[in-house]
Structure 1
Amino acid sequence: MTLLLDIAPYIPAVRPDVTGAEVYRRFDTEPDTMAIAVVDEAQRPVGIIERNAFLVRMAAQYGHALWSKRPVSHWMKTDPVIADGDVTVEEFCGRVMHESPSELLHGFIVTCGGRYAGVGSMLSLLQASAAQTARLAEAAEASRRKADAALAARGRFLAVMSHEIRTPLNGVLATAEIVRRKMREPELVPLLDTIVDSGDVLLRLLNDALDLSRAEQSGLELAEDPLPIARLMDDVRSLWTSQAELQQFVLDVEFEGPADLWVLGDQVRLRQVLNNLVGNAMKFAHRRVSVRMWADSGEPCYRIVGEVRDDGPGVPAERLAAIFEPFQQTDEGMRKGGAGLGLAICQQIIERMGGTIGAMNRPEGGACFRFEVPLYALPAPPAPKPAEPTMDESRPLHVLIVDDNATNRLVARTLLEMFGCTSAEAADGAAAVVAASQGAFDAILMDINMPGMNGIEATRKIRSLPGPKSRIPILALTANADPVDAATYRECGMNGVVEKPIKPERLLAALQGVLAICEPAEVMAVA
């Protein structure tokens, strides 16, 4: 903290009987002196002479003749602002600004034990305030950098933990899913369902923690792709109908707007918001969950409004204001399970889209969550042409599995067998390059993090092979779920990404997708 003594230099004071000519000489030879204190024999201040006021007086007509020989006691300011040197600049400014701010224009006198110790000016106060502001700004910037570093460190930690957890989780969930599909003993199916459902909960918590971390670092990526808005409701209906029937709920899903309305937006993130809200409503509803979405036309954007209602207990009034903060849950929510991250992520996504989200209690009971986002309307794209065959269906696909983890290779091999494919394996990137150059493969499933040559480097080397082998479709099979990483994989030459833990349907769809974009002649030439 800065004291007045720190900013008020000791400038020799004058006695009341000093003449104006002497004061004029002082100001003339001391250009940086803004004011001179007047003190008595005991060095107690009795007045102050401010530079500008004095020079104006002397410059007036006959001013020098009138005042140069008179003592300063005749025209000095006899009621100067006086403050003790131990007072802080902030305290002094606050008091004077409240009582008599204009007095600071004349300067002020600083004392120590009642005796003159220095003289200050408005300029010295401004300089002190600027220095203090600079120090505060520097401290704030240092705090910001420290906070950013902490967020980045937490993000890196979560990313590493995500990879390390997803790898064994892939073995658990994918193996359980395979066994469930091959199970011939009905009494064991509920036990496998429990394994899969519990693993899905763990995976959802992991994804929520990663999304929240990215959002706090402003790293939550949003895509801008053509999106048929009505299809979001179809996705909600297909995903949640069976769950509603299992819980004996009524699920109403409704879209009000043009069925062919296309907008520019992030379909994955909007679906994530809707699924989070619907999943939250399903936890608390008694019998009914209603999901509505409508589109209000406007210029230049459509206002897309989504609303999810339930007939549950609602949100306690004292919790409504904080319901979208991370780790905030009602007592009922803690009993139902969850980490309290879903709504916080919904808010981050909607606000990054330039929209708003809120919650309220319904008069008839239950809660209502509503969001609005502005999205640009687009003309409907032309209908896609029917896909042509891309491979010789008289033989099975032959796929190269590249992964340093034996469990992951077992999972991938078993899933490919379920799809009617054959496979070969490589335990690292270097072996994958050799296999791709010597073998005949319709596709490659490539892990990313491997000792020695990683999946990115292996992909680049495969893309540099001569002939059709350089165009073998490559899917990243990875526990690195960050969208930025996925973009990097595509930039290095991969055709798609399948996230671990592997879901059979996702792997099959990804294989069909990458094979569909390859020319039939290329696939056959590689084979």
Structure 2
Amino acid sequence: MLEQKSRDLFLANQKLSAYSADLQQAVLERTAELRLALERAEAASAARSRFLATMSHEIRTPLGGLLGMIDLLSMDEADPEKLELLTNAKTAGAGLNRIVNDVLDFSKMEAGVFLYEEENVDIRALIESIRILAASHAHGANRKLIARIDESVPKLFRGDATRMRQVVSNLVNNALRFSTDGPIIIRAQASPHPDGAMLRVEVEDFGVGIAQSQFEHLFKDFTQITNPLTAAAQGTGLGLAISKRIIDGIGGRISVNSTEGEGSTFWFEVPVRVVSRPDAQGGAENADHSGLAAVDAMGKRVLIAEDNIINQKLLLAYLDRMNIKADLAENGRVALEKFAPGKYDLLLMDVAMPEMDGLEATRRIRDKWPASQIPPILALTAHVMDAIEEEAHLVGIDRILSKPIPFEDLKLAIEIALASAGRAGRDASPAPVLNDPEMSQGSGNRSFFDLMSPDAYEMLLNVFGEDGLTDFAANFVRDSTTRIEALLAAEQAGDSSEVGIQAHSLKGAAMAFGFADMSEWVRQIEAEETQLHDRTVTQTAEKFRAKLQMLGALLDQ
């Protein structure tokens, strides 16, 4: 009996071992399938991001030149008939620009690369700037735009100023386009909320109104309701759809109250966290510097770094009209050679340039000279701003301006930058450089984990815990340092196979921590696409190594 039981046990163990081997093989196969699917998904996401960045740059660059040249011609034209033609051309170009922006924003949302920021927001200054800008446009001419901000609205709160401006601007522009007379009223009020306050913003018009049966179609993609003004207003039918996605993305809700023939009130509500005291980023930048007196730019000296010939002529003509002394650099390398402390009052730095881009030039300038000797640096870009915003702030760009930029907007941006620099110079203690990676968002230094994407941080924190995540981050820095050095050595030795292997490993590691920019750099190396971005493999790898060193320094603090 014992022998039989022993044999039965032996046979059972054999079966169990077979099952275990089969299960292990199935797990390995499934893991390989999942890894392949993940790599394909990552490749598809990267391809979408590259497509959006390329489309944005390739469309906005010539469009910016077109609108700028129309601006310049309009300034000098005295013939009423020709001026009317130029005005119509400018209106058409502005409409095209709006459509391009809507389509790109919608595409970013579909691709999952639409980003939200958290910063101090002054809703009063934001609404006032929208009101002034809308009144200066064709639809706002001879129209009364009224802003009514209730005392219950906090002076500052945390939120995404850019996205909130986009939604309010869209609602105001729609109100102007879909009504012919009567005032446009922008209201804001707040009520208590567990997170701090519930902000409600309304935009009311007295136009044709909307039938209740049409409400369900208002916020759908590529949909416009039918009314007497729809055909004249034109558009993609994306404005309200994008606004809804933005408000949904920040945890709010958006809707409309309307009576046909009497007018409409579009509104949104979002929970906000009230700021009792401004932090290091403060509210000035995000509030359009409403507390700064404009500085006359006449006689100031500006260095323009721009490689596109049309944009060179446009910017030189713009600055000439501002009575600004402009010096031109054809790329970032020339800008770096021409710059010297005290030589310029401001730098206008294009982002995408051959030999050396604007971000790299800015980084080298800030590495070479102390902050007190560097004037404001404004970046000009035709790329999707989300794609470069983090890196631009890391290298020390003070403000990003999106092409095409009208004359008045550029003039205002320059005056604001000069006013900020003048105020910083008068302060008893120097103000921190905006968005310097060594500075905090509050008190203390910014950490390694602040630079991770929120989704990656939350996922890894749940897996490793705080201490484990710190160790994991340290391992990432050590391993990636070894691998980037191996990549550079392989590139110098001409071993393209080893370069691709190291780049592939670095890509996955960087993506795991949510460092999309670093992952994209090594992806370009792996795919042998660095030349498409006007960089060599070594230059791209050096950018990766520079940020890795900065991350390591943050971990060591």
**TM-score normalised over the length of structure 1:** 0.64
Root-mean-square deviation (CA), in Å?
4.3
Q: Secondary structure at the match of 2:221?
A: coil
The secondary structure found in structure 2 opposite 1:347 is helix
**Match status 1:460 vs 2:363:** yes
SS in 1 for 2:339: helix
Q: State the match for 1:294 in structure 2.
A: 189
1:196 is matched by which residue type in structure 2? K
Answering whether residue 270 of structure 2 is matched by residue 373 of structure 1, we say: yes
Q: 2:50, 2:102 → 1: CA distance?
A: 15
2:101 aligned with 1:173? no
Given the alignment, which residue of 307, 327, 330 partners 2:225?
Answer: 330
Query: Offset at 1:469?
Result: 9.9
Q: Structure 2-normalised TM-score?
A: 0.61
Structure 1 residues 300, 154: CA separation in 2 closer, same or farther (over 3 Å shift)? Answer: closer
The aligned residue for residue 327 of structure 2 is 424
CA separation in 1, counterparts of 2:425 and 2:155? 37
Alignment of 1:332-371 (within 5 A): 332=227, 333=230, 336-359=233-256, 361-362=258-259, 365-371=262-268
Residues paired across the two proteins, number: 402
1:261 Cα deviation (Å)? 3.6
Task: Please tell me whether the aligned partners of residues 341 and 374 of structure 2 are also in contact (alpha carbons under 8 angstroms).
Answer: no
SS across alignment from 2:193: coil
Q: Does the Cα contact within 8 Å between 2:156 and 2:283 map onto a contact in 1? A: no
Which has more radius of gyration? Answer: 1
- 1:326 maps to a residue whose letter is D
Alignment correspondent of 2:88: 194
TM-superposed deviation, 1:349:
1.1
Aligned position for 2:400: 497
Asked whether the 8 Å contact 1:459–1:492 carries over to 2, the reply is yes
Query: Residue 360 of structure 1 contacts residue 368 of structure 1 at CA under 8 Å; is this kept in 2?
Result: yes
The match for 1:224 among 104, 110, 118 is 118
- Among residues 191, 196, 208, which one is paired with 1:312 in the alignment? 208
Is structure 2 residue 216 aligned with structure 1 residue 321?
A: yes
Alignment CA distance shift 1:401-1:142 (3 Å): same
Query: Is the contact between residue 437 and residue 465 of structure 1 (CA under 8 Å) also seen in structure 2?
Result: no
Alignment match, 2:445? none
The residue that corresponds to 2:50 in the other structure is: 156
CA contact (8 A) 1:429 1:452 kept: yes
Structure 1 pair 30–322 and aligned structure 2 pair: CA distance change class (3 A): farther
Deviation, 1:235, is: 3.4
Partners of 2:384 and 2:141 lie apart in 1 by 31
- The structure whose residues are more often helix, as a share, is 2
Question: Any conservation in 2 of the 1:261–1:380 contact (CA below 8 Å)?
Answer: no
CA distance in 1, matches of 2:420, 2:181: 45
Q: 2:383 matched to 1:486?
A: no
Distance 1:303 1:254, change over 3 A: same
CA contact (8 A) 1:437 1:469 kept: no
Distance 1:472 1:243, change over 3 A: closer
Deviation at 1:374, TM superposition (A): 0.6
User: CA offset at residue 350 of structure 1?
Assistant: 0.6
| Residue 408 of structure 1 pairs with residue 326 of structure 2 | no
**Paired residues of 1:283 and 1:336 also in contact (CA < 8 A):** yes
Number of the residue aligned with 2:76: 182
Matched, 1:212 2:98: no
Q: Is the 8 A contact 1:445 1:476 kept in 2?
A: yes
Q: Structure 1 pair 256/464, CA: closer, same or farther in 2 (3 Å)?
A: closer
Kept in 1: contact 2:210–2:260 (CA 8 A): no
C-alpha separation in 1, matches of 2:294 and 2:233:
48
Residue identity in the other structure for 1:314: I
Cα deviation code 1:196-229 (max 9, x no counterpart): 2222111112222222233334433333333333
Gaps of 5+ in 1: 1-26, 33-126
**Per-residue displacement from partner, 1:347-396 (whole Å, max 9, x unpaired)?**
111111111122454366554433211112233769999879999x9x82
Letter in 2 for 1:306: V
Q: Which runs of 5+ in 2 are unaligned?
A: 1-7, 14-21, 285-289, 427-557
Q: Secondary structure at the match of 1:357?
A: strand
Letter of the structure 2 residue corresponding to residue 307 of structure 1: E
Return the letter of the residue paired with 2:210: G
- In the aligned structure 1, how far is the partner of 2:291 from the partner of 2:268? 37
